[in-house]
Amino acid sequence: MTQDIQLEIRDAVAIVRLTRPAKRNALSDGLILGIRAMFETMPDTVRAIVLDGEGEHFCAGLDLSELKERDAGGGLHHSRMWHAALETVQFGPAPVIAVLHGAVVGGGLELAATCHIRVADETTFYALPEGSRGIFVGGGGAVRIPRLIGEARMADMMFTGRVYNAADGERVGFAQYLVPRGQAFDKAMELAQRIAQNAPLTNYALMHALPRISEQPADQGFLTEALMAAIAQSAPEAKSRVRDFLEGRAAKVKKD
Ligand code: 1HE
């Protein structure tokens, strides 16, 4: 496996780190395949994953030095290789929390959009320079980014080279959390530890059922929701958690 990615396990939480800071964690083919291999071979004790990038920037996107003259077929296969790798992140073994800081651009934004939660610090900025480089997104961004910020905003970013800062990025929906500089990793770990305590079927439903339901026509979505709800609530873990609440042993919902 490539040296540009590292795995650290802390109890039920895995920390996956892109370790190519000299190239701003640019995603070479080797690194994309490394991400795929890492998510495919994650130990089955892992219940939540934190994805970080070493250095000042989360990820500068596609490694442009590898952008050779490809014919149409080569370009198609290259993009599909990214799709397959990022699918292992989205539909992998556990929810993924991205630690955003500095540049989250191009394929780096496509990778971030694949994660389930994004925590950004104040240094974060978002861009899709593909537009000005004469190329198009190829790592699933055309599908996933409009789901976060809407098609019109994505088109604007690519037409005009618009860059969103951290505050505006949170406002439009890139990140669910915005924290002071340097604090995104700690916040992501806190969220990961909490998510790791959920009933596994709840996390499964959120990762695998929810995104599919939101793509289904309402009539089919309601049925899929009902099937998933029935499966989740019949698990012994759900029964014992509900009993804990009814018997006063579980936390109430509290105003923040
Ligand atoms: C790179 C890359 C890269 C940096 N591929 N080598 N992505 C982009 O168009 C973004 C291009 N990168 C940048 O705009 C800037 O590098 C950053 C804003 C991310 C960071 O700036 P800075 O001043 O901290 O770093 P730097 O001096 O620009 O870069 C440091 C080194 O990283 C330098 O190499 P060096 O050998 O001269 O030290 C850069 O060449 C190298 N580097 N970014 C290759 N992306 C599935 S399709 C997805 C399509 C896309 O992602 S297109 C968008 C690509």
Task: Please check whether residue 55 is in contact with residue 19, taking contact to mean a CB–CB distance below 8 angstroms.
Answer: no
pLDDT at 161 over 90: yes
On the question of pLDDT at 68 being above 80, the answer is no
How far does residue 73's CA lie from ligand 1's centre (Å)? 26
Ligand 1: distance of its center to the CA of 224 in Å?
42
Only one residue has tokens 């190239």, namely: 23
Residue from 99, 103, 154 nearest 125 by CA: 103
Q: Which residues contact 110 (CB under 8 A, 6 or more apart)?
A: 61, 82, 86, 137, 139, 140, 141, 144, 145
pLDDT band, residue 194 (cuts 50/70/90): very high
Instruction: Provide the pLDDT confidence category of residue 213 given band limits of 50, 70 and 90.
Output: very high
Give Cα separations from 134 to 103, 125, 130, 150 (angstroms).
20, 21, 6, 22
pLDDT tops 80 at residue 1: no
Calculate how far, in angstroms, residue 11's C-alpha sits from the geometric centre of ligand 1: 34
Of the pLDDT bands very low, low, confident and very high (cuts 50, 70, 90), residue 256 is: confident
pLDDT at 22 over 90: yes
- Tell me what pLDDT residue 26 has: 98
Q: Sorting pLDDT into bands at 50, 70 and 90, what band is 56?
A: very high
The residues with which 103 forms a beta bridge, in sequence order, are 125
Which residue is closest in CA terms to ligand 1's atom 24?
24
Predicted pLDDT of residue 67: 85
Q: Which pLDDT score is estimated for 142?
A: 98
Q: What is the pTM of this model?
A: 0.97
Confidence of residue 2 (pLDDT cuts 50, 70, 90): confident
Tell me the mean pLDDT in the region 193-211. Answer: 96
Q: What is the model's pLDDT at position 45? A: 97
Query: Which residue type is seen at 225?
Result: E
Give the pLDDT mean for 43-67.
Answer: 96
Q: Is the CB of 157 under 6 A from ligand 1?
A: no
Residues 225 and 209: their CA atoms lie apart, in Å, by 8
Is the model's pLDDT at 196 over the cut of 80?
yes
130 is known as an active-site residue: yes
Output the residue whose Cα is nearest ligand 1's atom 31.
Answer: 23
Which residue has the least CA distance to atom 34 on ligand 1?
23
Query: For 113-154, how does the pLDDT look when each residue is reduced to its tens digit (9 = 90+)?
Result: 999 999 999 999 999 999 898 999 999 999 999 999 999 999
Cβ of 140 closer than 6 Å to ligand 1, yes or no, is: no
The model's confidence at residue 20, banded by pLDDT at 50, 70 and 90, is very high
Q: What is the pLDDT of residue 169?
A: 98
Q: Which of 87, 130, 151, 247 is catalytic?
A: 130
pLDDT higher than threshold 80 for residue 239? yes
Query: Is 44 a residue whose pLDDT tops 80?
Result: yes
Residue 61's pLDDT band, with cuts at 50, 70 and 90, is very high
Mean per-residue pLDDT of the chain: 96
Alpha helices in the chain (DSSP H): 29-40, 72-90, 107-114, 130-133, 141-149, 151-160, 166-172, 184-196, 200-204, 210-213, 218-234, 236-246
